[in-house]
Amino acid sequence: VIWNEVVFSLAKDLEKVVMPIFGKPKAGETVGTNVSGDVTKYVDKVAEEMVLERLKILGINVVSEEVGTIDVGSEYTAVVDPIDGSYNFAAGIPIFAFSFALFRRRKPVYAALYEFTTGNYYEAIPGNGAFMNGRPIKVQQVPASRAAISFYTRGRGVGLISRVKRVRVLGAIAVELAYLARGTLQGVVDIRNYVRPTDVAAGVMLVREAGGLVVDDSGKDIDVHLSAEEKMNLIAVSDQELLRIILEEV
């Protein structure tokens, strides 16, 4: 399987299915509850049905945000979020993406993230780097006092806000991790014990391949599990110095 071609064409077809309902009330209607206890919106369901149908043909295991794990006994597993940022999508805020991360057994093999509104296609090839539209991307290192970070908290560690220049919480953590990988954010912090591997699996590969660090709230390297339910704390940064400051505050 030529993963980049398969996933890119899947993303393009998914775009045709979902974009007609971007910003429409219908997209945000609740249609159920997913495996992690979060609501499933109409757009989540439509997007996931299409993605599952396409991945089924490939005969690989899938871990997807709404349905959870589909194990067909393959050595390959795709951890996907058909639409990350579904609140944004339904509300007409143009920040959301299709997130795809492929593992062989537990080893990262390939990741892709397609941002529908900009048309940017991000890829990570473990050991070979991260790319945006085929061109290599790298994290950007700046002093903490100049850094822009995304920071999801429920009150914990709020002192961090005054130690960086900008805080931008964009509502689609997969996209925010891609922005870190390309150097337009320097940190992505979520310490609510709320994000799941489906939200971040592709983004983690992108950040690491772009030269960044991804750890938990104790500073330990994160190991992304093939799960749609597990909740995690995540700190992704462009460099050690910013990480030191974040860990001091949280």
Residues that bind ligand IPD (CB under 6 A): 65, 81, 84-87, 152, 171-173, 194-195, 199
Smallest gap, in angstroms, from Cβ of residue 66 to ligand IPD?
A: 9
Interface residue with Ca ion among 35, 61, 81, 97 (CB under 5 A) is 81
Smallest gap, in angstroms, from Cβ of residue 194 to Ca ion?
A: 10
Interface residue with Ca ion among 48, 65, 115, 190 (CB under 5 A) is 65
**Contacts of 63 by beta carbon, 8 Å cutoff, 6+ apart:** 69, 70, 77, 78, 79, 80, 197, 198, 226, 227, 228
Q: How many residues bind Ca ion (CB under 5 A)?
A: 6
The one of ligand IPD, Ca ion, none whose footprint includes residue 171, by CB under 5 to 8 A per kind, is ligand IPD
Closest C-alpha among 8, 77, 18 to residue 44? 18
The one of Ca ion, ligand IPD, none whose footprint includes residue 28, by CB under 5 to 8 A per kind, is none
Is residue 47 a contact partner of residue 31, using CB atoms and an 8 Å limit?
Answer: no
**Contacts of 41 by beta carbon, 8 Å cutoff, 6+ apart:** 27, 28, 29, 30, 31, 86, 90
The one of ligand IPD, Ca ion, none whose footprint includes residue 123, by CB under 5 to 8 A per kind, is none
Tokens (6 digits) for 49: 């049905």
- CB-nearer residue toward ligand IPD: 125 or 167: 167
- CB-nearer residue toward ligand IPD: 108 or 197: 197
Q: Which stretch binds Ca ion (CB under 5 A): 16-24, 139-147, 191-199, 214-222?
A: 191-199
Distance CA 111, CA 84 (A): 14
- CB-nearer residue toward ligand IPD: 93 or 125: 93
Q: Is 120 helix (H, G, I), strand (E, B) or coil?
A: strand
Q: How many CB atoms lie within 10 A of CB 99?
A: 33
Tokens (6 digits) for 202: 């592709």
- Interaction of residue 84 with Ca ion, rule CB under 5 A: yes
* Phi, psi (deg, nearest 5) at residue 76: -100, 140
**Contacts of 125 by beta carbon, 8 Å cutoff, 6+ apart:** 110, 131, 209
- Interaction of residue 115 with Ca ion, rule CB under 5 A: no
- Interaction of residue 190 with Ca ion, rule CB under 5 A: no
Smallest gap, in angstroms, from Cβ of residue 195 to ligand IPD?
A: 5
- Interaction of residue 48 with Ca ion, rule CB under 5 A: no
Residues forming the site for Ca ion (CB under 5 A): 65, 81, 83-84, 86, 199
